[in-house]
Structure 1
């Protein structure tokens, strides 16, 4: 047979897809591994076996039923990594509620938008996180959120909230669970919008349970694995690659801190005898740069996942040697694909594991096309990456136009990423079509930042770009044209942004200009702006970093 010449791959599917809900899958894990540890949250001194996790998830599901939450109703959670987050993830799934993940970095306007766009009836929130008082922020917008009926503050209200579900009969919960289907929506995750408004990627049991399961299969997880999860739960990295990969295999979820802390992470890896560690490249860089990194015991570490933004080859090599993660893998994906579409194998040649994002996942298809014609391109030729299969989201919540613009009639999801497929079937991400900045694993859409900056009285025009960063992969930069007769400085504009948009979206660099580089047809040339910024800011070293 002639070798393939066009850029299409179909993932092997010898292991069948799981045709069950998240609750049904957890029930099977509990039956097999009930006495084994399921969840360890170091900063809260919390431990639970799978039997205890099942019981507590059931209590939460009953508490939602007691509030009158119906299957399909939206329940929001706004909190950093805590044990209650995991209980809520599994409990809401058992109740058939749609869990709305709210970014812990959100401020008042972003919170209001997410609550209203999703129609949240119930919100569980941490009292505060870092320097942000969540209760005060919620109070400032609650009157403008008509669907929100019940607020539960984690810690202060948690026990009373669970106790209110005690009168709900076991039979009532069992009846609710029996009526659920694995194609039901179960999760909404907001992604930054190119039009200035985030879009709610809507995911089903089938989407995220299977994706977590096949990630765990690729990592060769068993009930003996203990997985350190310093990445956030509000994102698919934490709740799918982390929690569902573990729960579907009986492995233990180990949470080191509310948010990433390199020393706390490595201490937990040692103390809890972790076999797997997750992170975006910036996290691994921080761990490798930690004074005394060689003093920790990494003898149990075997594997893990590096994902979220392009992975520098040299960092991958150090992770394998210094951290002893000989079988570390790279994952590629996006929220809209639940999230992972491709992953390197634990036994792939080192050169492929550090220079590509591996193989298409089981039961998925990928193709690389000419964005102008929609036709497949030859192997090795860059084009837009498209994904099809069980992992493709149901759509954007209450946004059929955005859904139709992303998912074609044949159910191919257009990622907006530029990719190549080599002759051996390895996938490589070489750039982005869509105007996106990936800062430390967080997606920042320039249009969203631009539209916010337009609200400043001194700003006439603004263009936001990403510039290379050794620490974050990319940083946000704004080129600003001021209104005649007005003045402003970078620090003043940054102060204007503070507490009004997420910290990750606030530009690190500001450049004041009279005009922007333009094409003859009047389009702003952001690539030219980026090249100029690299030279002016002295970022050549960061720009030269090779990534997979």
Structure 2
């Protein structure tokens, strides 16, 4: 079987070991695993899980940063027939306990002490309020060798439509819910993603996006395995370290959020690194400045710069730009639906709806939330507001919850942010609505400045007056060193609103 034909993750690992045997699969510091060695390590880990009683359908949680151990453990879980439940490395004990309890995880694998976080202690404290009756064992991955030393043959038979993972939504507006995703969805969708991205055999992919979210795992680990690329995981984004890895490992593919690229482009030491190997960048966000796309192509000579759109419930991807799209299209749209997926806009609310093989099977053990998210015709209601142009290219204007009303007019923060991002002194911007006695709400902009003199609020206001209708113009500007984000890179506008109150 060719890797691109595999429709279960165990088959994908085996196919990679056979077809790309001596090619590097993972480079993580001093650890360098070929595809054959990766296959052997995954088998050992799956057998260790089987020896501890993990059977088909059992949920196994993984609380660790990007690294070769995360990749082997995740693939080992699904190869043993288990269901992977990734945990965010920024979680505190109560947040992790909620997901462990909600998923009914039987086993927790944890890199205790990462960045000084005592995960096991924090979880033990939280368990007093959130009992974990299903959790039979917690294993610190520091004892890796001892864990994999005891194993037994795996007898689980994995099928394409079996659940492969439960990725819990970020929970920025309530309790997280576990999206049920299958082996077939993860493999089939990322065959399409990797083709549109131009990922190819022999590429070297710097994996900065966290593996505990769908984009990092599926557009990173799974896409690389499908194409025979080398995965170079980075546990924590740090600009000098990233630049050094790109130079040392001759990285060709570097997906990430817009802030990753702006941080690299604006770093004062960038000229001291050889970044000529870079070929592909893939990003995605409500706002992607056109100037950033132009700079990536002009200053880093990237051949392919794409934007994409998706959410956990759509297996991470629904639309993508195409390699020959111009910078304006890449910056202002999320591309068209990937093959086999439909996208339409609700005529009443403007909400983006998605239907296709990539839509989750539902929320784990939550039929009511599933019914609220997926209608009787199979359309996933994303909660995002957008438009489709005549080409079928999607433009996200904002979240339904982020829209605010100024004197009776609907204002969408993304539109205002796109304008402000063009100001030469602005690196990043986030806009929220704040109360106003006369108009009900008005826009407030939180601005991260580019290196150099900070922008003058009066200049920013004049810039907006020239480009935005009156009701859209921010009435106040707040200069901040950084925007608050969750570990998936999403700006936490709830935090900004709380501060404004």
Note the C-alpha offset of 1:139.
2.4
Q: Residue 220 of structure 1: which of 198, 206, 210 is its match?
A: 198
C-alpha contact 2:432 2:444 (8 A) present in aligned 1: no
C-alpha contact 1:298 1:324 (8 A) present in aligned 2: no
1:454-493 equivalences under 5 Å are 473-474=429-430
Q: Which residue of 2 aligns with 1:400?
A: 367
Q: Aligned equivalents of 2:114 and 2:472: distance in 1?
A: 38
C-alpha contact 1:281 1:309 (8 A) present in aligned 2: no
Q: Which residue of 2 aligns with 1:512?
A: none
Q: Aligned equivalents of 2:429 and 2:36: distance in 1?
A: 41
Q: Which residue of 1 aligns with 2:121?
A: 136
Note the C-alpha offset of 1:534.
4.3
RMSD across aligned C-alpha pairs, in angstroms? 2.9
Q: Which residue of 2 aligns with 1:95?
A: 80
Q: Which residue of 2 aligns with 1:125?
A: 110
Note the C-alpha offset of 1:355.
2.4
Q: Aligned equivalents of 2:172 and 2:375: distance in 1?
A: 18
| Residues 1:97 and 1:306: Cα distance change in structure 2 (over 3 Å) | same
Q: Which residue of 1 aligns with 2:59?
A: 74
C-alpha distance after superposition, 1:500-530 (max 9, x if no partner): xxxxxxxxxxxxxxxx56999xxxx666677
1:15-414 equivalences under 5 Å are 20-42=7-29, 45-142=30-127, 144-155=131-142, 157-165=143-151, 168-169=152-153, 173=154, 175-176=155-156, 179-193=157-171, 196-255=174-233, 257-372=234-349, 383-414=350-381
SS at match of 1:248: helix
Note the C-alpha offset of 1:237.
1.7
C-alpha contact 1:33 1:223 (8 A) present in aligned 2: no
Q: Which moved more, 1:265-274 or 1:527-536?
A: 527-536
Q: Relative contact order: is structure 1 or structure 2 higher (C-alpha 8 Å, sep ≥ 6)?
A: 1
Note the C-alpha offset of 1:189.
1.2
Note the C-alpha offset of 1:371.
3.6
Which consecutive unaligned segments of at least 5 residues does structure 2 have?
405-412, 446-470, 484-501
C-alpha contact 1:21 1:180 (8 A) present in aligned 2: yes
Q: Aligned equivalents of 1:91 and 1:106: distance in 2?
A: 23
C-alpha distance after superposition, 1:52-74 (max 9, x if no partner): 11111111111110111111111
C-alpha contact 1:229 1:278 (8 A) present in aligned 2: yes
C-alpha contact 2:279 2:302 (8 A) present in aligned 1: yes
Q: Aligned equivalents of 1:399 and 1:519: distance in 2?
A: 42
Which consecutive unaligned segments of at least 5 residues does structure 1 have?
1-16, 373-382, 438-464, 480-515, 544-548
| Residues 1:334 and 1:293: Cα distance change in structure 2 (over 3 Å) | same
Is 1:535 aligned to residue 491 of structure 2? no
Note the C-alpha offset of 1:476.
8.4
Note the C-alpha offset of 1:290.
1.2
SS at match of 1:294: helix
Q: Aligned equivalents of 1:319 and 1:49: distance in 2?
A: 31
C-alpha contact 2:264 2:270 (8 A) present in aligned 1: yes
| Residues 1:533 and 1:77: Cα distance change in structure 2 (over 3 Å) | farther
Q: Aligned equivalents of 2:36 and 2:442: distance in 1?
A: 54
Q: Aligned equivalents of 2:10 and 2:390: distance in 1?
A: 41
Q: Aligned equivalents of 1:519 and 1:30: distance in 2?
A: 66
Q: Aligned equivalents of 1:123 and 1:93: distance in 2?
A: 14
C-alpha distance after superposition, 1:223-248 (max 9, x if no partner): 22111111111011210111111001
| Residues 1:140 and 1:475: Cα distance change in structure 2 (over 3 Å) | farther
C-alpha contact 1:213 1:248 (8 A) present in aligned 2: yes
SS at match of 2:107: strand
Q: Aligned equivalents of 2:429 and 2:107: distance in 1?
A: 36
TM-score by length of 1: 0.74
C-alpha distance after superposition, 1:174-200 (max 9, x if no partner): x42xx2111111111111347621111
Q: Aligned equivalents of 2:402 and 2:179: distance in 1?
A: 18
Q: Aligned equivalents of 2:395 and 2:282: distance in 1?
A: 16
| Residues 1:99 and 1:429: Cα distance change in structure 2 (over 3 Å) | same
Q: Which moved more, 1:98-107 or 1:137-146?
A: 137-146
C-alpha contact 2:444 2:475 (8 A) present in aligned 1: no
SS at match of 2:165: strand
C-alpha distance after superposition, 1:8-49 (max 9, x if no partner): xxxxxxxxx95621111222222111110001113xx21100
C-alpha contact 2:106 2:134 (8 A) present in aligned 1: yes
TM-score by length of 2: 0.81
Note the C-alpha offset of 1:142.
4.0
Note the C-alpha offset of 1:351.
2.9
| Residues 1:388 and 1:18: Cα distance change in structure 2 (over 3 Å) | farther
C-alpha contact 2:179 2:360 (8 A) present in aligned 1: yes
C-alpha contact 1:76 1:124 (8 A) present in aligned 2: yes
Q: Aligned equivalents of 1:475 and 1:129: distance in 2?
A: 33
